[in-house]
Homo-oligomer: A and B are copies of this chain.
Amino acid sequence: MSVEFRVNPDRYRHWRVTFDGPVATVTMDTDEHGGLVPGYELKLNSYDLGVDIELYDITQRLRFEHPEVKAVVLTSGKDKVFSAGANIRMLAASPHHDKVNFCKFTNETRNGIEDATANSGQTWIAALNGTASGGGYELALACEHIMLVDDRSSAVSLPELPLLGVLPGTGGLTRVVDKRHVRRDLADYFSTRPEGVTGRKAAAWRLVDEVVPRTAWDQTVTARARERAAASRRPADAEGIKLTKLAKQRNADAIRYRFVAASLDPARGVAEITIQGPPDDPPENGIRAQGDQFWTLAMTRELDDLILDLRTNEPELGTWVLRTKGDAEKVLAHDRLLDDNAQDWLASEITGYLKRTLKRLDVTSRSLIALIEPGSCFAGSLLELALAADRSYHLAGTRDADETQEPATITIAAMNLGPLPMANGLTRMQTRFLGDDKQLSEAEQNQGEPLEAERAEHLGLVTFAPDDIDWDDEVRIAIEERSSFSPDALSGLEANYRFAGPETLETKIFGRLSAWQNWIFTRPNASGPDGALRKFGTGQRADFDKKRV
């Protein structure tokens, strides 16, 4: 069964979204019987991938469809419980790659919540009207402000270590010390208490921002949301655009959208992805008129869905080959329109969404190889695909000495110099030329110039520039070879090479925390027949190999 990431708000099973002027309230109320696969019940607002897919959809619609929303209250529809976190039986039954992929997606959604607060003027507030444990508390940690009801029983907790023998793997450990600045020894103690911490102690230790008695709960939550909304820079009376259902055809061999397509080749372990540039010049009457059909937004939505689909449903396609096709000038014209309207909320949302989607590509554990061939349009925003790749090949000259063809070029533009930073806070060009400001500025000086292969290679913008004679063999060998390597070692290699330079909360979560969690998930102490994940709920204790590693 293939997991579907396109969801319709009319059919949410686990969430309610209500609106009151500038404040949206997102209420988690999981349907116990709505698990994505059989075998577990989503009790106590525990969640699985399906619950999180709906949450991701909510975050996107709030941004695009609701410019009027300036504060988002995240709360629970259950009595006395906010959320028990990721469903344990689901985790225990999942194969390793599903566990890791699930954690990655939930991490991305939580990073998106922080990004909405930081960059969209939509501040998320966690209104914990009951206990938030494990992933439930980690979800709250992604919010800017955490309120906990003070009723002697509602607690925040990270019980993963004592109860399950794994880590809070959705950014919890990093956010506790690096974002909320909980003292490390108190954090250590907190993370060993299955029952967590309640009331004033939770506030004193900075695990939450405030505790509020139940009698004053509703009015205080409303007041906080209104305060945050009042501080937002989001426009007063803009109108949202509708995110319509993405048209998509999918079978075992191919996935097709309007601008993005992938052919799937399990025998070679390869997905060949092609992104079409804009068919037309950007609309003279602005972006809004085209709504979600504006090329950059439509293409980004398709690419986003494709990444999620391939990651989740095609784990054995270990190499993604990235191509573009179309008119570079039209790509650059769309980029310019976004850049010229950078102060407009909608243009800003579109660029921000492209930024997040490219970040999703960066943390995807697949080898990325960009092929720059005649007819391609690796310019500006689409050049980021080649810069995100582990390697790029740029054909020197034309195919078969065909003089009717133009040689392939790449073009640096403003989009490559700031608006689309990676998780490390640098642009992909800055990361590429880390520690070499001279080469960076030399490359940047070629902004706007269509660069043919030799020049692009000389400037360090592409990896190799074979000519027609060598192209087929060189590219074929690179792809075949990639499929022959250990998939695990490739994931580790790429995770280390893609994020040179400064570290941020995000790179720590994806680089360090996730790697530890991956390791712990594979260990018999967690996932073996006598491991803690398997023994949870059986009344039996896990049987640990006591060796410290």
**Could you tell me which A residues sit within 8 Å of B by CB distance?**
96-97, 100-101, 160-162, 164-167, 173-174, 176-178, 181, 183-189, 191-192, 269, 315-318, 365-366, 389-392, 431-436, 460, 463, 481-483, 485-498, 500-503, 507-508, 511-513, 515-520, 522-523, 525-526, 532, 542, 544-549
A489 B520 Cβ-Cβ under 8 A: yes
A485 contact set on B, CB distance < 8 A: 161-162, 165, 192
A515 to B514, CA, bound (A): 9
The chain B residue sitting closest to A168, CB to CB, is: B493
A482 contact set on B, CB distance < 8 A: 192
A51 to B112, CA, bound (A): 48
A489 contact set on B, CB distance < 8 A: 160-161, 164-167, 520, 525-526, 532
A488 contact set on B, CB distance < 8 A: 165, 519-520, 523, 525-526, 549
A318 B167 Cβ-Cβ under 8 A: no
A502 contact set on B, CB distance < 8 A: 503
Distance from A479 Cβ to chain B, minimum over Cβ atoms (Å)? 12
A486 to B530, CA, bound (A): 12
A192 to B478, CA, bound (A): 10
Q: Select one of B162, B181, B431, B487 contacting A435, CB under 8 A.
A: B181
Distance from A153 Cβ to chain B, minimum over Cβ atoms (Å)? 23
Q: Select one of B161, B183, B366, B460 contacting A486, CB under 8 A.
A: B161
Q: Select one of B97, B176, B183 contacting A432, CB under 8 A.
A: B183
A463 to B491, CA, bound (A): 39
The chain B residue sitting closest to A516, CB to CB, is: B492
Q: How many copies does the complex hold?
A: 2
A489-B525, A489-B526, A503-B503 known; A434 vs B515 contact (CB < 8 Å) = no
The chain B residue sitting closest to A436, CB to CB, is: B181
A492 B508 Cβ-Cβ under 8 A: no
Distance from A450 Cβ to chain B, minimum over Cβ atoms (Å)? 21
Other A-B contacts than A165-B489, A489-B525, 4 sampled, CB-CB below 8 A, are A167-B496, A486-B544, A491-B516, A519-B519
A481 to B163, CA, bound (A): 12
A495 contact set on B, CB distance < 8 A: 512, 516
A100 contact set on B, CB distance < 8 A: 549
Distance from A159 Cβ to chain B, minimum over Cβ atoms (Å)? 11
B192 A518 Cβ-Cβ under 8 A: no
Distance from A513 Cβ to chain B, minimum over Cβ atoms (Å)? 6
A500 to B391, CA, bound (A): 33
A52 to B191, CA, bound (A): 37
The chain B residue sitting closest to A316, CB to CB, is: B546
A241 to B525, CA, bound (A): 48
A526 contact set on B, CB distance < 8 A: 486, 488-489
Q: Select one of B178, B493, B549 contacting A434, CB under 8 A.
A: B178
A547 contact set on B, CB distance < 8 A: 97, 315-316, 487
The chain B residue sitting closest to A503, CB to CB, is: B503
The chain B residue sitting closest to A434, CB to CB, is: B181
Distance from A148 Cβ to chain B, minimum over Cβ atoms (Å)? 21
The chain B residue sitting closest to A513, CB to CB, is: B496
Among A492, A498, A515, A542, the most chain B Cβ lie within 10 Å of the Cβ of A492
Q: Select one of B189, B460, B490 contacting A183, CB under 8 A.
A: B460
Distance from A12 Cβ to chain B, minimum over Cβ atoms (Å)? 30
A548 contact set on B, CB distance < 8 A: 97, 315-318, 365-366, 487, 490-491
A365-B548, A496-B173 known; A486 vs B525 contact (CB < 8 Å) = yes
A167 B503 Cβ-Cβ under 8 A: no
Q: Can you list 14 A-B contacts (CB < 8 A)? A: A161-B489, A162-B485, A178-B434, A184-B498, A315-B547, A316-B546, A487-B545, A487-B547, A491-B549, A492-B517, A492-B519, A503-B507, A518-B519, A522-B523
A184 contact set on B, CB distance < 8 A: 390, 431-432, 497-498, 500
The chain B residue sitting closest to A169, CB to CB, is: B492
